[in-house]
Chains A and B, each alone.
Chain A
Amino acid sequence: MQQLGMGQAVQQALREEMLRDPNVFLAGEGVGVSIHFNPYLPTHGLLEEFGPERVKDTPVSEQAIAGLAVGASVAGLRPVVEIMFNPFFTLASDMIVNHAAKLRYLSGGKSTFPLVVRIKTGAGFGAGCQHSHNLEAWVAHSPGLKVVMPSSPADAKGLLKSAIRDENPVVFLEDMTLYFMPGPVPQEEYLTPIGKAEVKREGTHVTVVAWSKMVGVALKAASQLAEEGIDVEVVDLRSLVPLDKETLLGSVRKTGRLVVLHEATRTGGFAGEICAVVMEEVFWNLKAPFRRVTGPDIPVPVSPPLERFYIPDEEKLKAAIREII
């Protein structure tokens, strides 16, 4: 099987969907000609293949980029636009939160907005807090949007293809660290459904719920804890909206213990929602209090030791698991 980084997997998904459907086009800052020239990046080579009519480099105008997607989608195209880094989502947020998410409802279901907003995210590059800030909980708080955060190249490809074919606006968050961590990706055509979590590792003692880059951290911690006789189940949510409650609750029912792991900061983070759902639905199955392992409530610092401290790692996760076993 081919080994691809997540950026290359995204690239394949975009390419396949553009070949399949002439209404699919790309727009964003540097999606054609970029200040980086790197085949591992998601839109590398697509301008050469599809031309400037379908791969649109835009001015530095996040609101216009997101608005382009809203308008083009309601008029029948399938825009896939890119917001360069997650903090810049704030500049596009009126178009995404007030418009993409709400205009279908406001039309009484008559107008549809089949658009994808790809957002690059994740700390770990020393870029600082105005380039690194995981805001998935903000988007998940806006009914009308779907929120997808793949953890592997294979999922990224299958989920993005589903997102492009989805009739709803989808916010698709790609952790950039995963661009440079190759994994197996099937050659043949496949779609990964949005809204289905995946049990990445089965276990009996504790459920760790994670998404995006943190799934890798959870799997590493799980194999280390296995040597101590602790049997960890790892659930990859894949999408926050829709939330696959069935898989989540099924796992917690079985293990009776829950740790939620995410890179985003703690207060108001999506771990709070996961824990609330679990408390409401399967409280009596719990054998121990839940734990959250998250980024601390600080902006992402630049200095390498501080940034490393910010990003949750397997040591912090293992400590949290040991607390409740």
Chain B
Amino acid sequence: MKVPAEKKMEMLRSMLLTRAFEDALQVLCQIQGKIPGMMILCTGQEAVASGVCAALQNEDFIISNHRSHGHLLAKGADPKALMAEIYGKRTGCNKGKSGTLHLAVPEVNAPCTTTVVGGGLPISVGVAFAQKYRKESAVTVCLFGDGAADEGSFHESLNLASLWQLPVLFVCENNLYAGAQRFEEHTRVKSIADRAAGYPMPGVVVDGNDAPAVYTATLRARETAANGGGPTLLECRTYRCRGHGEADPQHYQPKEEIALWKQRCPILKLEKEMLQKGILSAEELEKLREDSRKAVQEAVRFAEESPWPDVAEAFQDVYVSDL
């Protein structure tokens, strides 16, 4: 399938934005007292988020996980509201209640993000059920890591989605590590996609560092799901260039392995392809990079200048109306 130039441009733009956003966070999270809690980055995995989201319609839902920045930015979330939330500020997309880990952006149909590994799977089945119940043509994408495929929720969710032929795409972002465990240390299957046979649904493996390939595979799975063909398990093979979180010294990841995968950077790959094909000029590329840097600078400035929430706000938003 030929991927249109404008789709490639869309993917490159969102990958550059995510990279710039997280490069800034990499630095900011080292400053004492700047960013509360953990910092979990998807550096090097941007093609999964961008490829998947480029294949979706606005009305499609995504349910993300602890490594969510790329997914949400690619779905169209406002970097300012995200950054302010990551800072814990009142102007954040969740008023400082979620921080970096559970960012919810219902405006782009990402109504909740869960850090419980595998927690998004049953929820995505529920969202897809609602879509089918209302006879919509929209689909739901659940993004999870290879570690989540070891959870019981994976089995229950794929079984139910398959049984009811729900419009859901199970996108496994296999970055070869679940915490400190390498892929072959936490499962004996060669590929998460092999597990699709148990449900049964299509199981597809794609190069997760090749955004157009992810886009194409997602588009196909989306079409199947939207037309009543049921779920697909799509495994995007990529690599976790950073630690589980920024506090992780990655002593268990071979240095050569990290270096090798950095050379397979999905952004460089797409840039090179687009430059070679003449659908992107060096000047345009520089402009794209500059735009993302500016957007991130603006987001950081907004977050820095935003007020903290009042302590009284801690009691808000537990229930729809106060008890």
Contacts and interface: CB of A to CB of B under 8 A. Distances in A.
B152 A98 contact: no
A79 B106 CA distance: 19
Interface in B129-151: 129-131, 133-134, 140
A94 B123 CA distance: 11
A46 B87 CA distance: 49
Nearest to A100: B123
B306 interface: no
Interface in A60-98: 61, 63-64, 66-77, 79, 94-95, 98
A144 interface: yes
B129 A71 contact: yes
A258 to B, nearest CB: 23
Nearest to B96: A108
A26 to B, nearest CB: 12
A105 B97 contact: yes
B133 A167 contact: no
Contacts of A67: 121-123, 125-126, 153, 156-157
B208 interface: no
B130 A76 contact: yes
Quick one: which of B61, B129, B316 has the most chain A CB within 10 A? B129
Contact of A109 (B121, B128, B140, B316): B316
B106 A110 contact: yes
Nearest to A144: B318
In the complex, which range does the number of interface residues on chain A fall in?
A: 35 or more
A107 B107 CA distance: 11
From DSSP, what is the main secondary structure of chain A's interface residues?
mixed
A105 B102 CA distance: 10
Contacts of A56: 164
A179 interface: no
B119 A98 contact: yes
Contacts of A242: 323
A61 B104 contact: no
B252 interface: no
A72 B153 contact: no
Contacts of A99: 112, 114, 116, 119, 123
Given A108-B98, A143-B318, A70 B123 contact: yes
Interface of B: 61, 63, 92-98, 102, 104, 106, 111-114, 116, 119, 121-131, 133-134, 140, 152-153, 156-157, 159-160, 163-164, 316-321, 323
6 contacts: A79-B126, A94-B119, A107-B94, A108-B94, A110-B94, A111-B111
Interface of A: 25, 53, 56, 58-59, 61, 63-64, 66-77, 79, 94-95, 98-99, 103-112, 143-144, 146, 166-168, 195, 241-242
